[in-house]
A and B are shown apart, each in its own frame.
Chain A
Amino acid sequence: MNKEAPLSIAERDFILNALREGVRLDGRDADQLRPLKVSFGEEYGHVKVQLGKTSLIVRISSEVTKPHDDRPFDGLFTIALELTAMGSPAWDNGRQGDLETYVTNVLDRVVRHSNALDTESLCILKGVSCWSIRADVHITDYDGNLVDASCIGIMAGLLHFRRPDAVVKDGQVIVYGLDERVPVALNITHKPLAVTFHTFDEGKQVILDATRKEEQASEADVVIGINNAGDVCFVSKFSGSPVDAMVFVNKTNVALEKVKEINGVIDKALQADLAKRGKGGLAEQSRAENDR
């Protein structure tokens, strides 16, 4: 019961035949994203992402904890993704499927291991206290391409999040509330995003941002994690049939183009949200310059 409904033979054949003619089910080009919408909630670090029919909510939160003994200068950063029955009837609450393990792994590699969030800046007092940043990803609707959508959500959330200000006074850590001092933005070193491609027809057809049906009909998937500057920080091809090496070379350029496009969407949404918050906010009240 807790399985994705298999695709019928007719659907599989049709998707493949259509791709051979260069047609996708929703009329997109092979290298075209579905409509992407990024919006922010009331609080800092609350992001809603809508990529076609895939939608998810990311919530970033912070708390003060003790750093790991072997890394006294580093703060903590964790990504928690759980596929619950809310997102798709094919998922069970509390049971980890292959997809969940896979997506968590890719997100960890692309966002966490590429040091997108500078964890050293989260240190408050060496070996005693540091910030622990946690990103929770909640899938609310699933129509393929979970990796890219979650990555967009997490990066937008990290850029949007503001943690409370904390100072060390006489060996004592004082954390100021969000209404006491201007909250601090996280130190983001670069903005990597994952771009997923799916291959069909022995690697001859490669498409971007597949829907659920296309994912099911595909032979293999290729994930490229890349940032605005064109630094590739993650490449994977976990399973499926072999993919020609040239696909990686060619599609990296496409991925770079898409990452710039997506980051543009995120930046625009961020600017709009900050402009809205700026009016009458604490940051404006506590500015040193005034209009006199």
Chain B
Amino acid sequence: MTSPLILLPGDDVPPENFPASSGSAPLRLGPGLRLLSSQPTPTTSSKSHSTTHVLSTTQPGILSTDHKRNGLSMQTPPNRRYIPTANDLVIAQVHHSSPDYFHCVVTPQAPQLLLGQLSFEGASKKTRPMLKGGDLVYARVLSVGMGPGAEAELTCVNPATGKAEPGGLGPLTGGMVFDVSVGMAARLMRASSSSSAEDDDGAVAGLVILAELGRKLEKVGGFEIAVGRNGKVWVDCANGGDSAVKATVAIGRCLSAVDELGLSPADQRKLVSRVLREMKVES
């Protein structure tokens, strides 16, 4: 395996690191990369690359190439500030509302993002959700503006289908939000998106904490979790009954401990048992 390629903001991505595309599939860019220009190459013969892309990085990190999905992304250091990127799932907090939009806070001390009053599943003028300041929404970043004064927009529906896709988008009620680093949030996203497909050893990025918590907390009614790429994790144990609060706090403590200490999978399992015992949650 070749040594990882570390790029700084403004560096051009060398073309030899592009995924070997099959030609038709579009190139998928992850966060931290920006397309500067793409030109169709003169189709001389049976060249597989039909377009030449010029990519530039906007964040420092390690370049990773995904040949299977024809994607490129940057692995950034864990504690970097969150910068909205299109298609990210985030947990936003409504700040105030105006006739057409909810103004949402995704990162504190950063410009607010707009969430259309009607961009919810099945929302019409009469049925739209009435959110007030301080309410939480699980939303997808629809677009990020370019240049000064540009406004980024959020949405809770897929504009093409009118459904809340992926599932779970919309207002979050109850529960608790825990802050984790942005890198940890990204790891949790990767872990949860693949854990359904694989068995309990599906340790993506060395993260087994969610699977372990899910197994241990099954008896107290399980829990709901929503991970926002902006470093927020919403947890709710609505079926937990008496131990709901304790279980929620236990999950939050486990997440922040794994985030801060960088535990190995075995240590993560030990941590879950220890925290649950300390919090006196029967498992």
| A residues at B contact (CB < 8 Å) | 1-14, 17-18, 21, 23-27, 89-90
Contact = CB atoms under 8 A, between A and B. Distances in A.
B98 interface: no
A14 B109 contact: no
Contacts of A13: 174
Interface string B163-198: 000000000111111000000000000000000000
B105 interface: yes
**Interface SS majority for chain B:** mixed
Given A25-B252, A27-B275, A90-B109, A8 B135 contact: yes
Interface in B47-94: 93
The CB with the most chain B CB atoms within 10 A, among A3, A12, A13, A27, is that of A27
B135 A2 contact: no
**Interface SS majority for chain A:** loop
A27 B249 contact: yes
B175 A21 contact: no
A5 B109 contact: yes
The CB with the most chain B CB atoms within 10 A, among A8, A11, A26, is that of A8
Interface of B: 93, 95, 105, 108-109, 133-136, 172-177, 234, 245-246, 248-250, 252-253, 275, 278-279
A8 B176 CA distance: 9
A23 B105 CA distance: 28
Contacts of A89: 108-109
A11 B176 contact: yes
B246 to A, nearest CB: 6
Nearest to A18: B245
A5 B108 contact: yes
Contacts of B252: 25
A10 B172 CA distance: 9
A26 B253 contact: yes
B177 A11 contact: yes
- Report the 10 A-B pairs with minimum CB-CB distance, sorted nearest first: A5-B108, A14-B176, A9-B134, A89-B109, A18-B245, A8-B93, A8-B134, A8-B136, A21-B245, A23-B249
